[in-house]
Amino acid sequence: MAKDSFGAYFSTVRILFGEFSDIFMQVCKDIVSNKKLMRKLQKSRFDVVFANAIISCGELLAEIPNMSELHDHMTFMERVKNIIYVLYFDFWFQTLNKWNQFYRRHTTLFEAMGKADIWLIRTYWDSEFPCPLLPNFEFVGGLHHKPDKSLPKITCFCSFSGEHGIVVFSLGSMISNMTEERANMIEPALAQIPQKVLWRYDGKKPDTLGPNTRLYDWIPQNDLLGHPKTKAFITHGGTNGIYEAIYHGVPMVGIPLFADQPDNIAHMMAKGAAIRLDMETMSRTDLVNALKQVINNPSYKENVMWLSTIQHDQPVKPLDRAVFWIEFVMRHKGAKHLRPAAHSLTWYQYHSLDVIGFLLVCVATAVFVLTKCCLFCCQKFSKTGKKAKRE
């Protein structure tokens, strides 16, 4: 999403969130109105609900983060933008009450999601910036990692790449094709690099498909990223793809499309492991230069390998950590002792606006009283002086 102007960005993001909210609300309606499913869930007496925080419906059965694309070393204006993002979306989500129809009382999205006992975050400190966390937050980034497997059918194509290696190109499972105009712009760029390219694409075959490029309806992404000849990964910036690239130490060219993807790529850029391009504005030259940069500049490979060592060097595997906390919640019928009391505060209490208001009133009262006392004393001394002069 191109941020052409500060105000337009807010408007666009709010519209997108509104549209996603309507879609998810319809999903929730369909689930809640499915009597057969509801009866099955009630009879099962489940111990825990494992829900995706993006699709806000799990909390309904059991009873979205600021993505500013900024890094941890911000300029003054970036800090101003960041605080505006936080306050704006915090207030907007606090007032998002489309979920009232599912409850017998007034409920906001924040209140419903605040009931979660444990939050399993699909990132880790290799991509995140250092920050304080609540006790019911646990990083499990990389929980889907698996060692790469041998690929007989694709290995032949990869073996002909020689010293130049291969480039893996995938925009994720949700975006498998694109407009013909975009595809015809991208393919000539891929044809200009010496590497072999494996492109996950099931749209119309580009008119100028180069001999170094092969199209696939589906590719074993993790296995290809683990191939020793893989030099770069062209990705939309989805969390799974980002962490597979980190795990195998492959530098990235990011073309984010929506949701958390721009923020994920921003993190990789800050770590020196990726270059970002914009799908709507990038040219053939931009793509070629970005690929040459991440492949030929050794700093990108060094940085992503450093992230890879951090990802591998963990006392407990991410999947085992996730399993432990899920079972922990099941064993103890929740984890209320880890849930911060801040979730029970109103928005003005959370931001201490009532305390600030009270202190301002106290200060204003003190200033007013002192001012009146000073004026009274001045008037008293003035009258005394005039009386002395008359005598």
pLDDT tens, the chain, 391 aa long: 444 555 665 566 566 656 666 666 666 666 666 677 767 766 666 666 666 655 555 554 444 344 556 666 778 887 887 777 777 666 666 665 555 555 566 666 667 777 788 888 888 888 888 888 888 888 888 888 777 776 666 666 666 677 888 999 998 776 656 777 888 888 888 999 999 999 988 878 887 788 888 888 888 888 889 888 899 999 998 888 999 999 999 999 999 887 778 888 989 999 999 999 988 889 899 999 999 999 999 999 999 999 999 999 989 999 999 999 999 998 998 888 888 888 788 778 888 899 999 999 999 999 999 998 988 888 877 766 655 656 5
pLDDT on residue 309:
93
pLDDT on residue 347:
77
Domain stop point among 288, 312, 336: 312
**195, 230 in Cβ contact below 8 A?**
no
pLDDT on residue 231:
93
Structure tokens at 172: 């994720």
Same domain (yes/no): 157, 302: yes
Same domain (yes/no): 166, 261: yes
Same domain (yes/no): 224, 355: no
- Domain containing 60 equals 6-116
Q: What is the CATH number of the domain that holds 169?
A: 3.40.50.2000
Beta-ladder partners of 276: 254
pLDDT on residue 61:
45
Residue 57, CA distances (Å) to 29, 30, 32, 49, 66 in order: 9, 11, 9, 10, 19
Domain stop point among 287, 312, 337: 312
pLDDT on residue 28:
66
Same domain (yes/no): 193, 106: no
Same domain (yes/no): 303, 353: no
Compute the distance between CA of residue 45 and CA of residue 199 in angstroms, rounded to an integer: 45
pLDDT on residue 389:
58
Cβ-proximal residues to 171 (8 Å cutoff; 6+ apart), any chain: 178, 200, 235, 236, 255, 257
DSSP 51: -
Same domain (yes/no): 228, 302: yes
Structure tokens at 136: 């019911």
**Residue type at 32?**
V
Domain stop point among 69, 96, 116: 116
Is position 42 within any domain? yes
Same domain (yes/no): 99, 165: no
Place of tokens 């207030």: 91
Same domain (yes/no): 91, 158: no
Is position 84 within any domain? yes
Is position 229 within any domain? yes
Same domain (yes/no): 373, 256: no
User: Could you tell me which of 291, 305, 265 has the C-alpha nearest to residue 213?
Assistant: 291
114-145 burial by CB neighbour count: b if 16+ within 10 A, else e? eebbbbbebbbebbeeeeeeeebebbbbbbeb
pLDDT on residue 343:
79
Same domain (yes/no): 211, 306: yes
Count structural domains, the chain. Answer: 3
Same domain (yes/no): 287, 350: no
Sign of CA dihedral 294, 298, 301, 307: negative
Same domain (yes/no): 267, 194: yes
